[in-house]
Amino acid sequence: MAAPVRTVVFPAAGLGTRILPATKAFPKELLPLVDRPIVQYGVEEAVASGIRRVVLVTSPGNTMTGAHFAPHPALEAVLEERGKTESLAVVRALSALAEVTTVHQAQPLGLGHAVLMARPEVGDEPFAVVLPDDVIDADPPALRRMTDLFAAVGGPVLLVERVPREAVQRYGIIDAKALGQGVFEVRDLVEKPDPATAPSDLAIVGRYVLTPDVFDALERTGADAGGEIQLTDGLRRLLEHRPLHACELVGTRHDAGNRLGFLKASVYFALKRPDLAPQLRAFLTELD
Ligand code: UTP
């Protein structure tokens, strides 16, 4: 019987170069989609999947991302005094949403290195990793399906999505055997393959359920040519001594870490809001 997944790690210490200059001084994960920062969508998905311990991995100067989830007594006092009960409820609900801690990655030495920074907080138990840029709208939540699969197979689970052939070079791609119902057994993983030689069109997208032995695998994984420790390389190492599974995304994913993806995600989530959708739709039609 697999131990329950209680902790989720959010690596958020990257440079965010694809969306500069917005991210020069400001953390990418706090850019808002409508009125919630990108990272809040991921935390809400984790909580809806039954995972309430959140470890944020941020760059050392970033105090804002943790503050977003912490109580803000001065703001709460003003809202209370002014009778802004709805806003007060929103602010209080946010600090009660999850149990959030922050660890720092001194330098952006890769996603695998960022995950390693969370080791003391995670301890010796299974955990999830959510890349905040990948904002997913799914019912049931993607992470919930993954933890259900984890409970069934008792080993690491990756989330995959079919991508157009020409896009495989931007992702980690799996070579896999289909087991049915959107579940795969992973045979191999290749980081950013050439479309001509890629083993499949199944791209790893930003959700992982991992076992703690991945930390040792990452410790043993050297830096790549760019000086970064890649999570995919650590997973390959793990695959040498245990099976890995993948489940296919059922839902809509936005990569909010690039300009067009960010804009699409903003419009997508605004159109799901009854208070905004009619007027936004009318505006978009006017532009056409
Ligand atoms: P990305 O490569 O997609 O994001 O990393 P990035 O590095 O921030 O942005 P670009 O590509 O330069 O625009 C995926 C996730 O891993 C985190 C990022 O913050 C992002 O959430 N990450 C990446 C780290 O925490 N540390 C790193 O060293 C690298």
Q: CA 34: distance to chain centroid? A: 18
- For 120, other C-beta atoms within 10 Å of its C-beta total 9
Of ligand 1's listed atoms, the one at least distance from the Cα of 257 is 13
Is the pLDDT score of 153 beyond 90? yes
Q: Quick check: 207 and 131 in contact, CB under 8 A?
A: yes
Is the pLDDT score of 141 beyond 90? yes
Give the helix/strand (H/E) hosting 233: helix 231-239
Report the alpha-carbon distance of residue 19 to residue 269 in Å, rounded. Answer: 19
Q: Compute the C-alpha angle 199/203/206, nearest 5°.
A: 150
Ligand 1 site residues, Cβ closer than 6 angstroms:
11-18, 28, 57, 105, 108-111, 113-114, 131-133, 257
Ligand 1 pocket test target in 133, 204, 232 with most atoms within 8 Å of CB: 133
Report the alpha-carbon distance of residue 246 to residue 254 in Å, rounded. Answer: 19
Q: How far does the centroid of ligand 1 lie from the alpha carbon of residue 117, in Å?
A: 14
258: which 2 tokens? 């690039």
11: which 2 tokens? 């690596």
Taking the model in full, what pTM does it have? 0.96
For residue range 28-41, list pLDDT tens digits in order.
999 999 999 999 99
Beta bridge partners of 162: 202
Half-sphere exposure of 251 (CA within 13 A, CB side): 21
Ligand 1 pocket test target in 9, 15, 55, 102 with most atoms within 8 Å of CB: 15
Indicate the pLDDT class of residue 2, thresholds 50, 70 and 90: confident
Is the pLDDT score of 264 beyond 80? yes
The pLDDT of residue 263 is 98
The pLDDT of residue 222 is 86
> Residue range 135-145: average pLDDT?
98
Average pLDDT, the chain: 96
Q: Which of 11, 32, 28 is nearest to 258 (CA)?
A: 28
Q: Compute the C-alpha angle 206/265/84, nearest 5°.
A: 110
Is the pLDDT score of 243 beyond 80? yes
Q: Quick check: 46 and 6 in contact, CB under 8 A?
A: no
Q: Quick check: 270 and 264 in contact, CB under 8 A?
A: no
> Residue range 99-117: average pLDDT?
97
Q: What percentage of the chain has pLDDT greater than the value 90? A: 95
The pLDDT of residue 215 is 97
Q: Quick check: 268 and 253 in contact, CB under 8 A?
A: no
The pLDDT of residue 288 is 78
Question: Position of tokens 């003391």?
Answer: 120
Is the pLDDT score of 111 beyond 80? yes
248: which 2 tokens? 């296919």
Q: How far does the centroid of ligand 1 lie from the alpha carbon of residue 131, in Å?
A: 8
> Residue range 260-286: average pLDDT?
97
The pLDDT of residue 3 is 87
In the chain, the amino acid numbered 36 is R
Beta bridge partners of 73: none
